[in-house]
Structure 1
Amino acid sequence: MNIKVFCIIALLLSQILLYGQEIITPDKAVQLALENNYGIKLAKTDVEIAQNNASILNSGYLPTLTGNAGGTYNLDNTEAEFSDGRVTTLKGAESSRYSASLDLNYTLFDGLGRIYNYKQLKETEQLTEMQARETIENTIVQLFTIYYSVAELKENTNAINQTLSISKDRLVRSEYQFNYGQSTKLAVLNAEVDINNDSISLMNSQQQLKNFKRDLNLVLGNTLNEVFDVDTTVEFKNLYDKELLLEKAKANNISLLQIDKSIAINKLGVKSQISAYLPTIGLTGSYGWNKNNNNAASFVAVSTNTGLSGGLNLSWNLFDGGRTVTNVKNAKISLEANTIQKEQQLVTLERDFKNAWEDFQNKLNIYKLQEENIETARNNFERTEEKFKLGQATSIEFRQAQLNLLSAEFNKNQAKYLAKIAELQMLQISGELLNVDF
């Protein structure tokens, strides 16, 4: 087959494979993670359990209804002496008893402990939902850390590939020049060494890209085919107000919200412990059926009873050895500890926000400088390339310009994605991560 035809076919096949890849956009990645990430799935099961615990069926407000049934059988040897002196002896006298009942129990008043316990379950449900939100936020940050690593490696690989192509062109030019006596064999050997180095760099970059794609697929619940691509477009359009974001952080930061919810739960816990000082009043009711088959020594051969019964009972734990007093004191101490923890979290939050804000601004400025730097490196390479073709620059100078351009592209790619991740981390601290478009 003609070499030109072979190259054309290979180029077409590579283009078909490239355009056949599924492009995973940031929005698509977030959607897949929310649906398939294993950590998020587990967090959702915790929310479902908390919802079940906070239902009326687990509140203690409903009565209990118990069904009971039983039977006994006796085989006795009986000797009965009557008042007139007669004595009757029975051997193997049979008797049996059967019973069945429905028993109802309902707590009318338990010192208000039931009310506070039920409210605690509702608050715990909301706390579990906040914990699930924290899991989602952490997963999204983890997702984009890997996603942008894939994007960076993709752009780096393309840059290395371009560098390799330039090195191959240089080898061809060096061989022509050597064949026509315009350069030495050393220029050819240098070009071959550079091609080998570029090929090794390309192989390593391609392998890293495959590894990070597997990591990304794992975060997405292993839902992607092995062949997929990511969108390398990154935009910084939002103009953030520092003071406004800080206020949002104090109002919406998920760690701070969880502490607030823990304080609410512990306040109810104190009231629940105090309720143990009050009495408990309960209502009981029963409907029963009893049948007795007596032996011959009894005056009544068979008796059957059915009927309703009901009553009220009161229980008041006047002194339990000091356990309730201790529980109340410990509950109040736990509440005080939560209050201290909130004060600490507020100070920490303000520090973390300022660090995140300045880190984002710094990385964004670095990215802008790297964009300018790459233009300088590109202009320098193009001029050096022209001089090299005219024989006014050595292969070493050409290679150095080539490596400078490649390094500038690496630095620009890294700065771009580090700035984007810093932006996401700042939004997470502010509680705004789930309110923005990706």
Structure 2
Amino acid sequence: MWGQETLSLKDCIEIGLERNYAIRIVRNEQQISANNATLGNAGYLPSLDLSGGFSGTLNDNRNDLRSGERERTTGVHNETANIGLNMSWTLFDGFGIQATYERLKELERMGELNTRMTIEDFVASLSAEYYNLIRQQIRLNNLRSSLDLSKERLRIVEQSHSIGTMSLLDLQQARVDFNSDSSKVLNQLEVVHRSSVQLKELLAVDDIDTNLQIRDSVIFPNPFLDEVELWQNTLESNAALLIAQKNKTLSELDYKRVRSRNFPYLRLNAGYGYTANWYELGSYDLQQRLGLNYGVTIGMSLFDGFNRRREQRNARIDIENRELRKQELELGLQADLSNLWMAYQNNLDLWRLEKENLVAAQEHFSVAMDRYKLRELSGIELREAQNNLLEAEERRSIAEYNTKLCEISLLQLSGQILTYVAPPNPDEVSE
């Protein structure tokens, strides 16, 4: 698979969701929470034990009788063997069992939310790195194009210098600019490599040196997000907000479990077993018993040093704190959304502006190159036009990438990142 086909963002996400180590770990933790959410773990079901044993005694006995006689026996050997089934079942404990079971189910749902949050973080990180690799490749292509222009300029200068129409200073300057552009290309190759390695690390590839080809070569920001819709989705779907609500629910269930100690408890005990005793002295050589035993226990804690009252007060305070944390988180999300939306709108405007600037810079450089070939423009002026073109391309690429990062962050904040693969090309939509 690796190196044999190009991968889209959707392909990378699908591969990462299957292979990424952090996701595999959190899914295992979710499975543990699901395994724990059982009736037996909550205490609904009885416990049944099978036990057996064997014991013996070896004694020397001395008995003083009322008649004044004394009896002595040595080496008296007695043995006992038993086997039985014992059942214990708490039928009622003040609704504590019910609260415990509800808490286990909430922890199971919490495990699902933790998995979802980890997946959302992964998809956001993977998407950002995917588009960063595109941006760095775009910059590499721009630098290579600039290097080709410098190479062409050097060729022109060398030819002109050979026939005496350009000075040695012009030739040296052209070579310096060519070498400078070559250095930039080499440095950018390293940046592209680092981004590719980071992407492969997120995908958990077996060999980090595997050749990875991505399908996309351009970045298309999505200009059609809606702030009101994003905030509504945040309130309904944000994973951190949902986890905060679950934490409050868990605190409420902990309070119910503490309050359950105010009520009486009812337990059922039963057993069925066999016991055998072997006696060396006495009226019996062997005594055997086979039968059923049962009983019901009802009780209530009347006083425990005011610990229940203390725990109930603390539980109520914890519920209040969970609600305050939820409100604090909601306010923080609102602030984050406001900042991200401002950045998103600003970068969209910059992106549109830089696209226009790039067209102007391309036209300006084309005219400058024609004038340079006609000896109407100096090498320094041509270099300035070349740098202006490269800077315009870089600014447009940065605006595209920053807009895409804001878009990814907004979708993650609103809980919609898992439905995100790649938004439509706005140029195609406008057509």
TM-score greater than 0.5 by the shorter chain: yes
Shift of the alpha carbon at 1:195?
1.3
Structure-2 separation of matches of 1:101 and 1:200: 85
Query: 341-350 or 316-325: which moved more?
Result: 341-350
Structure-1 separation of matches of 2:124 and 2:315: 36
Report the residue type matching 2:403 in the other structure: A
Structure-1 separation of matches of 2:336 and 2:400: 22
Unaligned runs of 5+ in 1: 1-19
Q: Name 2:19's counterpart in structure 1.
A: 36
Report the residue type matching 1:368 in the other structure: R
Q: Conserved in 2, the CA contact under 8 Å of 1:22 and 1:227? A: no
1:339 and 2:316 matched: no
- Give 1:6-405 correspondences, 5 Å limit: 22-80=5-63, 88-223=71-206, 226-230=210-214, 231-237=216-222, 239-296=224-281, 298-405=282-389
Report the residue type matching 2:61 in the other structure: T
Structure-2 separation of matches of 1:211 and 1:436: 25
Shift of the alpha carbon at 1:55?
2.1
Structure-1 separation of matches of 2:245 and 2:172: 70
Structure-1 separation of matches of 2:329 and 2:71: 88
Q: Conserved in 2, the CA contact under 8 Å of 1:171 and 1:192? A: yes
Picking from 391, 394, 399, the partner of 1:407 is: 391
1:437 and 2:421 matched: yes
Shift of the alpha carbon at 1:54?
1.0
Structure-1 separation of matches of 2:221 and 2:171: 45
Question: In structure 1, the residue corresponding to 2:213 is in which secondary structure?
Answer: strand
Structure-2 separation of matches of 1:279 and 1:203: 78
Gap change, CA 1:424 and 1:237, over 3 Å in 2: closer
1:265-320 Cα deviation digits (max 9, x unpaired): 22222111111111111011111111111122x12121111111111011211111
Structure-1 separation of matches of 2:301 and 2:319: 25
Q: Conserved in 1, the CA contact under 8 Å of 2:150 and 2:174? A: yes
Shift of the alpha carbon at 1:82?
6.6
1:420 and 2:407 matched: no
Shift of the alpha carbon at 1:110?
0.8
Structure-2 separation of matches of 1:235 and 1:400: 29
Report the residue type matching 1:404 in the other structure: N
Report the residue type matching 1:243 in the other structure: V
Unaligned runs of 5+ in 2: 423-431
Shift of the alpha carbon at 1:347?
2.1
Gap change, CA 1:300 and 1:84, over 3 Å in 2: farther
Aligned length: 418
Q: Conserved in 2, the CA contact under 8 Å of 1:289 and 1:305? A: yes
Report the residue type matching 2:115 in the other structure: A
Shift of the alpha carbon at 1:80?
4.7
Structure-2 separation of matches of 1:233 and 1:204: 21
1:143-181 Cα deviation digits (max 9, x unpaired): 222222211110111111111112112212111111112
Shift of the alpha carbon at 1:222?
2.6
Structure-2 separation of matches of 1:130 and 1:256: 10
Question: In structure 1, the residue corresponding to 2:51 is in which secondary structure?
Answer: strand
Question: In structure 2, the residue corresponding to 1:229 is in which secondary structure?
Answer: coil
Report the residue type matching 2:279 in the other structure: N
Structure-2 separation of matches of 1:168 and 1:241: 47
Shift of the alpha carbon at 1:86?
6.9
Q: Conserved in 1, the CA contact under 8 Å of 2:128 and 2:408? A: no
Structure-1 separation of matches of 2:327 and 2:278: 74
Question: In structure 2, the residue corresponding to 1:309 is in which secondary structure?
Answer: strand
- Percent identity between the aligned chains? 29
